[in-house]
Amino acid sequence: MKKYNFYAGPSILPPYTLENTAKAVLDLNGTGLSVMEISHRSKDFIAIMDEAGALFVELLDIPDGYSVLFLGGGASLQFAMLPFNLLNKKAAFLNTGAWSKKAIKEAKLFGEVDVVASSEDKNFNYVPKGYTIPTDADYFHITTNNTIYGTEIRNDLDSPVLLVADMSSDIFSRPVDISKYAVIYGGAQKNLAPAGMTFVIIKNDILGNVDRPIPTMLNYQTHIDKGSMFNTPPCLNIYAALQTLRWLKKNGGITEMGKKNDAKADLLYNEIDRNKLFEGTAQHEDRSIMNICFVMKDEFKELEGEFFEFATSKGMIGIKGHRSVGGFRASTYNALPIDSVKALIEVMQAFEESH
């Protein structure tokens, strides 16, 4: 039976990425060596790093004056690394979910934190609006997409201070005006590569303004100066990321990917809104195109377990909602074909007809 992978992360990757990475695990470019066993200082791997960085710049249209870093530690390490490097006195945050809260907790270790707005009052089912960013903050931090609650900031904000964004789960899903951001970071395990690699896009001239000493490995300047090669990088993950970047370029780049993602999300949201059994959990204007969260309507709550078993029997994998929200979640990342969304819709409609 065919499987339809809706996991939120680690999640679906393009077949192109899986096939080429699998080949390189056995033999990289005819070297007779695995990508897992060659030196990161070898010309073969340096070429991989250079091409991956260049494709980041090309696909995202990153302007001059920025560096692209490939690090370890996941986005969770960035929650501490950012304030270590950028927070002198105060950081401002928009609290839109679990990942924002984790970032806020780490920043409080380094200085004052101003949460300018929060959607926690409604279990993070919307993105706050109408707030004021304090001009005396060292930076303003947002999480653009919230995998647990299914909300997303789809526009590039204008900020009077340095704008920092966690784009772990929606990077490469739509065009982004990089010039509006000082830092964009994320774990790779959603739209890019297997878990274990972290990307950081950072404006070079924002560093060197904090008074505290920064441990070498936690200093962004270290990794900029050494081209992400200060220590051994996550080589296999970077190779896999390179394959995904090549796949993105072959398939029309980010603009084309954004159109496909909008089409997938529109199909599924339209079915959720039409179907008598289901309803979405996020407010309409803030709905994510990457993580589509929905539940049974109150009068059908007792059917949730039955629907999950039915959907699983039809090959739907990873659609169970996060424990803090319940219900269901279909993650429609770049690599998910539109046919998978259509298959899920057919399952929803069949379940509706039988009830």
Active-site positions read: 99, 166, 190
* Among the listed residues 161, 163, 164, 142, the one whose alpha carbon sits nearest the alpha carbon of residue 151: 142
Q: Is 52 helix (H, G, I), strand (E, B) or coil?
A: helix
What is the rounded CA–CA span in Å between residue 337 and residue 340?
A: 6
CB count, 10 Å around CB of 350?
A: 13
Q: What does the CA dihedral 251, 257, 259, 263 come to, rounded to 10 degrees?
A: 100
Backbone angles phi, psi at 320, to 5 degrees: -70, 135
With vertex at residue 297, the alpha carbon angle to CA 291 and CA 300, rounded to the nearest 5 degrees, is: 125
Backbone angles phi, psi at 81, to 5 degrees: -65, -35
Q: Are 161 and 152 in contact (CB under 8 A)?
A: no
What is the rounded CA–CA span in Å between residue 289 and residue 286?
A: 9
* Among the listed residues 282, 261, 273, the one whose alpha carbon sits nearest the alpha carbon of residue 331: 261
**Residue 98, class by beta-carbon neighbours within 10 Å (0-12 exposed, 13-18 middle, 19+ buried)?**
middle
Backbone angles phi, psi at 259, to 5 degrees: -65, -45
What is the rounded CA–CA span in Å between residue 77 and residue 105?
A: 12
What is the rounded CA–CA span in Å between residue 240 and residue 244?
A: 7
Q: Are 244 and 19 in contact (CB under 8 A)?
A: no
Q: Is 316 helix (H, G, I), strand (E, B) or coil?
A: strand
* Kind plus residue range of the DSSP H or E element containing 346: helix 338-353
What is the rounded CA–CA span in Å between residue 258 and residue 264?
A: 10
